[in-house]
Structure 1
Amino acid sequence: MSITEDVMAEARRWIGTPYRHGGSRCQVGSDCLGLVRGIWRALYGQEPQVVAAYSADWAETNIGDPLLEAGRMHMNEKPLANAQPGDLLVFRWRDGMAAKHLGILSDEDRFIHAYEGHSVMDSALVPQWRKRIAGVFTFPDRAAATQATTYQ
């Protein structure tokens, strides 16, 4: 299977996982970052970097844009117009604030994400979501990801 097929298969496996802030365990509990961390672990065997504990309002109190920065460090950025299923979507709630939500594009108009108060779900990528996309990234092939985590 291709990396995209593997991303999609793993993301679908997480559907129904209860929402849990800071969690990253399939069918136990996960937030949006935990979903991406879990997919990464399943694909590459380990996470690309250590994630410190974070509060629910971290984006409102933090300087910088750590989700976009991490995406650029570990993945391949691409234009929204070229987004395909299996790509990571990064969302920004408000201008001037750090991006703070993540999801996996599941088809042209849907994405898989951990939704607070609900679970990991496949949701419609309606205009209200689409206009908040701040970045699109592809998962690297396994050889590139393994080499990057080995030399950090």
Structure 2
Amino acid sequence: MNTKALIGILIFLLLITWNIKSFAKTAEATVTVNIRSSPSTSSKVLGIFPKGFKAQVLSSTVGWVKISFDGVVGYVKADYIKLTKDSSTSNAVKSSTNKKQVVSQIPTATVLKDNARVRSNMSTSSKILKTLSKGSKVYVLAREQNGWIKVKTLDGTVGYMAYYLLKMSTGLTTKISSRGGYDREAQVDYNDSLADRILGFAKKFLGVRYRYGGSSPSTGFDCSGFVQFVFRNFGISLERTAADMAATNGIKISPSELKPGDLVFFDTDGGRNYINHVGIYLGGGKYIHASSARGCVTISSLATKYNISFMMAKRVLR
């Protein structure tokens, strides 16, 4: 290959990289894909990038994109992700040249509990910006993937609230803004129950590998790590181990009372004297759990466990 051809190829590759860096900040997994240590299918698997989740794009090379997801930095195949364009620049240009008022259709929500907290970030440990009384109204700016809603209070405070603290309105409220600025992604159907949203979130991790002591989708889950992770993303705190969850969290219910979102507990050794496994009931006699036997998050039939290792069920949703 002559020098001119080589230079041409290098320029082409640089342009591709520049375009991706300039117009994309996030990558969304179209299937669950491995995060690898280098841009090669033979390199070490560092973690998992689950389908439907987003990650920060750090750089790119031919056929691969380097991402940062859940604390793991590595490479994923470009064929299995889609890049999200960064439209902030074009929006800034539009706002500077067009000062007309924009009419935005903004969903609203009603606060369900007194002393409901608006937080600075999507975490129960983040700063409390404001507390709201039952019946207060907020504007819904965005629905986040991890069980939080970005809101704006009537006095202008912007922050995050857990799903279960809010009841979404069925209609949209018209709001006039000089800059627009409201997230159009907020216009979604919020009619699903909290249990449905939790189960939908849990199913995103089907196929994520089992890892003893694991509590992260990128590196793997054990049974209680999976359950704790799912509920924590909806602002519900659970104990770390299956035994402690069974002893501390929720109220005990009979098998005949099981509803989707309840927790089911087992003694997988068959001795029926110690709880060492937990899953989330889906309904129809099925439950989702991180299974060491199958090596991943999977769905199983509750009937296969009843006579051997089923121990109890508890309800943590109100």
What TM-score do you get using the length of structure 2 for normalisation?
0.36
Q: Which residue, out of 228, 236, 254, partners 1:37?
A: 228
Map of 1:57 onto structure 2: none
Cα deviation for residue 74 of structure 1 reads 2.2
Counterparts of 1:11 and 1:27 in 2: how far apart (Å)? 14
Cα deviation for residue 35 of structure 1 reads 0.8
Cα deviation for residue 119 of structure 1 reads 0.3
Structure 1's consecutive aligned runs of 4 or more residues displaced over 4 angstroms after TM superposition are: none
Bigger radius of gyration among the two: 2
Structure 1 position 20 matched with structure 2 position 195: no
CA deviation digits over 1:40-68, x for unaligned, max 9?
211116x445x4xxxxxxxxxxxxxx735
Structure 1 position 134 matched with structure 2 position 311: yes
**Counterpart AA for 1:111:** Y
Q: Which residue, out of 64, 70, 77, partners 2:245?
A: 70
Cα deviation for residue 96 of structure 1 reads 5.5
**Counterpart AA for 1:9:** G
Cα deviation for residue 112 of structure 1 reads 0.6
Change (3 A) 1:105 1:48: closer
Map of 2:138 onto structure 1: none
What TM-score do you get using the length of structure 1 for normalisation?
0.70
Map of 2:284 onto structure 1: 108
Q: Work out the number of aligned pairs and report it.
A: 124
Map of 2:185 onto structure 1: none
Counterparts of 1:35 and 1:98 in 2: how far apart (Å)? 20
Q: Which has the higher contact order (CA 8 A, sep 6+)?
A: 1
Which ranges of structure 2 fall in alignment gaps of 5 or more residues? 1-191
Q: Give the secondary-structure state (helix, strand or coil) at the position aligned to 1:86.
A: coil
Counterparts of 1:77 and 1:96 in 2: how far apart (Å)? 17
Given that 2:211 and 2:222 are in contact with CA atoms closer than 8 Å, whether structure 1 keeps it comes out as yes
Identical-pair percentage: 23
Cα deviation for residue 3 of structure 1 reads 2.4
CA RMSD of aligned residues (A): 2.2
Change (3 A) 1:140 1:86: closer
Counterparts of 1:87 and 1:96 in 2: how far apart (Å)? 20
Counterparts of 2:218 and 2:301 in 1: how far apart (Å)? 22
Cα deviation for residue 97 of structure 1 reads 3.1
Q: Give the secondary-structure state (helix, strand or coil) at the position aligned to 1:19.
A: coil
CA deviation digits over 1:76-124, x for unaligned, max 9?
2211111122211000233363111111112222111111152001122
Cα deviation for residue 69 of structure 1 reads 4.7
Change (3 A) 1:140 1:106: closer
More helix by share: 1
Given that 1:78 and 1:137 are in contact with CA atoms closer than 8 Å, whether structure 2 keeps it comes out as yes
Counterparts of 2:228 and 2:274 in 1: how far apart (Å)? 19
More strand by share: 2
Counterparts of 1:3 and 1:71 in 2: how far apart (Å)? 21
